[in-house]
Amino acid sequence: MDASSSFDTIVIGAGIMGSCAAYYLSKLSQKALLLERFDLLHPLGSSHGHSRTTRTTYPESFYPPLVSLARSLFLDAQSEAGYTVLTPTPHLDMGPVSDLSFKSCIDNSSSTEHVLLGKESLKDKFSGAFDMPEDDGWVALETPLGGVLHPTKSVAMFQSLAARHGVVVRDRTEVISIKKEAASGPVKVLTASGEVFYAKKVIITAGAWTRKLIGSVGGIELPIEPVHNLICYWKIREGLEEELAAAGGFPTFASYGDPYIYGTPCMEYPNLIKIAMHGGIPCDPDRRDWQVGSRAAASANEPDANALVGPVAQWVSKFMPSHVDASNGPVMTQGCMYSMTPDGDFIIDFLGGEFGKDVLVAGGFSGHGFKMGPAVGKILAELAVRGEAEVPDGVDMGMFSIVRFQSNPGGNVKEHAAQVSLHKT
């Protein structure tokens, strides 16, 4: 084992989680290696594209403290890098108060700055852009700490900061095996091209490939389901572009219900706004059908053919008819993947089994992890180096444990329904 193949910690997977973990390992003076199977910043996983929402509103009380920590870490990293990845905006949640998830969000926001808006005050506030229903007790919750994160630029920022601090970053290097040859020895990592690396600790952040990788090397089955989904961009009606722009104070937003719809202000493409549904269609990450969910049904036997676009078009026509034109469908779509756990909560834990506390896994970010990337990366680095992590008040790491699925296959028990809609074809 020579010095060039031997590390304190190896991180497998260079999406937002792995790239942040590598950066915080470097801040702890670790000799670290970050391995990625595809090109750096590729569009095949979950961390690519131009926008991710950040918000402090959550039905679960343990996420907002992680979002706040991550926000301050994004700002610190921006200062170190010398450019920005976060565009702050207000955030708006809309829904019927009878929806338990939305009600829980309102309850969790009660001790922080927030405003509740009815139909008319919502229209006045955002230039008439939102036409919220009046019946069924719909209200809107406006909070100050929303914003748009640029995902590809954020990942690149953490990778380049990590490299600047000495992390070795290697792409086109697929890990095919992780082994412990002796209980007290290092972890051996084998790549598809036959290279071998050794480390005291390994962190697996393989996104939608996590279950496959861990199943093949450790025989441990984690309940993480890869789900194909789509981001849709819609045409803003002529002359109204500035009213939906982040620069003019337009918020990131979400609409509770089935499906849960979310959107970001007009930023990345002139005259287009991103509005999509929080849901998707289970997939094999290595054999994806890039069009599923966005094509016209060829027959009545294909009820889900347009499952990821049709419900969004309906929502746009109902909630933003004066500002956004959904009549011809989205102008542009982009595929992405969620890694769903049964309860929608993350997995951040030691793998156990023969690996004990030498291998950590962070996966199952269930379509809402990006905003917490730096907080997760910092926690992973501390867990790898010290065996324990400093977590913000209000965060119980037990909510992210693997063992929660042993006592209940559904994971954490919640009063409210799942927010992500899964279409099983």
Ligand X SMILES: Cc1cc2nc3c(=O)[nH]c(=O)nc-3n(C[C@H](O)[C@H](O)[C@H](O)COP(=O)(O)OP(=O)(O)OC[C@H]3O[C@@H](n4cnc5c(N)ncnc54)[C@H](O)[C@@H]3O)c2cc1C
Where do contacts with ligand X occur on this chain (CB under 6 A)?
12-18, 35-38, 45-47, 52-53, 174-175, 205-209, 213, 229, 231, 336-338, 365, 367-371
Smallest distance, Å, CB 339 to ligand X?
6
| Block residue for tokens 């034109």 | 325
Minimum CB separation of residue 207 from ligand X in Å reads: 2
SS (HEC) of the chain: CCHHHEEEEEEECCCHHHHHHHHHHHHCCCCEEEECCCCCCCCCCCCCCCCEEECCCCCCCCHHHHHHHHHHHHHHHHHHHCCCCEEEEEEEEEEECCCHHHHHHHHHHCCCCCEEECHHHHHHHCCCCCCCCCHHHEEEEEEEEEEEECHHHHHHHHHHHHHHCCCEEECCCCEEEEEECCCCCCEEEEECCCCEEEEEEEEECCHHHHHHHHHHHHCCCCCCEEEEEEEEEEEECCCCHHHHEHHHCCCEEEECCCCCEEEECECCCCCEEEEEECEEEECCCCCCCCCCCCCCCCCCCCCCCCCCCHHHHHHHHHHCCCCEECCCCCCEEEEEEEEECCCCCCEEEECCHHHCCCEEEEECCCCCCHHHHHHHHHHHHHHHHHCCCCCCCCCCHHHHCCCHHHHCCCCCCCCCCCCCEECCC
Give the nearer residue to ligand X in terms of CB position, either 38 or 392. Answer: 38
Q: Which is nearer to ligand X, 99 or 345 (CB)?
A: 345
Cβ neighbour number for residue 248 with a 10 Å cutoff: 14
When the beta carbons of 90 and 240 are compared against ligand X, the nearer one is 90
Q: Which of 117, 337 has the CB closer to ligand X?
A: 337
Residues 6 or more apart from 248 whose CB is under 8 A from it? 242
Which of 240, 313 has the CB closer to ligand X? 313
Phi, psi of 360 (to 5 degrees): -110, 150
Give 69 or 240: the residue with its C-beta nearer to ligand X.
69
Residue 156 CB, nearest approach to ligand X (Å) = 13
Q: Which is nearer to ligand X, 205 or 255 (CB)?
A: 205
Closest distance of CB 390 from ligand X, Å:
21
Residue whose beta carbon is closest to ligand X: 15
Closest distance of CB 118 from ligand X, Å: 26
CB of 135 to ligand X, least distance (A): 29
Cβ proximity to ligand X, 52 vs 240, nearer residue: 52
| Closest distance to ligand X from the beta carbon of 292 (Å) | 14
φ, ψ dihedrals at 382, nearest 5°: -65, -40
Min. distance of Cβ 299 from ligand X in angstroms? 28
Task: Report, in Å, the least distance between residue 96 CB and ligand X.
Answer: 22
Pick the closer one to ligand X by CB: 315 or 365.
Answer: 365
Structure tokens at 71: 């926000």
Nearer residue to ligand X within complex by CB, 22 or 231? 231
Smallest gap from Cβ 350 to ligand X, in A, equals 17
